[in-house]
Amino acid sequence: MALDINALRAKLNTFQGQTKRSSAFWRPAEGKSLVRIVPLTDCPENPFIELYFHYLGNRSHLSPISNGNRDPIAEFAENLRSEGTRDAYQQARAFMPKLRTFVPVVVRGEEDMGVRFYSFGKTVYQALLTYINDPDYGDITHIETGRDIVVDYTPQEKSDTNFAKTTILVKPNQTPISKDAELVERWTTNQPNLTTLFKEPSYEELSVVLKRYLDPNSADEDTSVTETMVTPATVQDSSSDTVKSAVDEFESLFAE
């Protein structure tokens, strides 16, 4: 039997795509790492990219509000909050999209890996902005006069809280990103493209995700969805443990 070259080529592309995605991101290991923020190719005046995500049913989904589009899960959360009760507000938390910020970095000691994106939550983002807005530090991303950053990561099992913990310290010395001009050129022009790494789901696709999360038994039924959204009463009829679990998953995933 002859080899199906087209099928094998498609499989190879799948593997290469997975490798490309994993190599596009940097996640800190336990302890201290030294990184340098690199100016963003498409927007050198602002290296931070803000994206919103849902985390339901052990899967993450890019929220369309990241690109200014309608999001049925966020709309459902707003409907819940509009009831004005404490329980409804608590339940709504599980369905509100969570901000995740991405910034291109070079990791010291791993420069051969090129530019990767470091993603973090509100705490790290606020700390970085505080440094940048401090006149004693200023533009910590500048190619010639910027500063390296110490990222100190403590995993959940070793943290004194219920969550993993990340702290940052911007080094006082101003240093160039690299003394190699060719390397600097490569880092500032050859960066992963987040728009190709995160696919925005359609309104209808997210409506199905919401329906299946609230009613898992509907997975085997007709999943066609119209513009008519699930009502807040639906979540009140579902298990409160499910909602609490979703909140806990959110807090664990994005805690920093």
86 or 148, which is more confident: 148
CA distance 62 to 125: 19
Q: Are 27 and 155 in contact (CB under 8 A)?
A: no
Do the bridges between strand 25-26 and strand 116-120 make them parallel or antiparallel, or are there none, so unpaired? parallel
What pLDDT is attached to residue 84?
84
Predicted confidence (pLDDT) per residue in 204-229, tens digit: 999 999 999 998 876 555 444 433 33
Residue 68 in this model has a pLDDT that exceeds 90: yes
Predicted confidence (pLDDT) per residue in 197-206, tens digit: 999 999 999 9
Domains, the chain, ordered by start: 26-254 (3.90.198.10)
Residue type, 103: V
Residue 162 in this model has a pLDDT that exceeds 60: yes
CA distance 239 to 187: 49
Averaged pLDDT of the chain: 83
What pLDDT is attached to residue 59?
86
Residue 167 in this model has a pLDDT that exceeds 90: yes
Work out the number of other CB atoms within 10 angstroms of the CB of residue 183. 14
What pLDDT is attached to residue 237?
42
CA distance 35 to 177: 10
Q: What is the pTM of this model?
A: 0.77
What pLDDT is attached to residue 223?
44
- What lies within 8 Å, CB to CB, of 169 at 6+ separation is 149, 150, 152
Strands, E assignment, 64-190: 98-107, 116-120, 149-154, 165-170
Residue 58 pLDDT grade (very low, low, confident, very high; cuts 50, 70, 90)? confident
85 or 14, which is more confident: 85
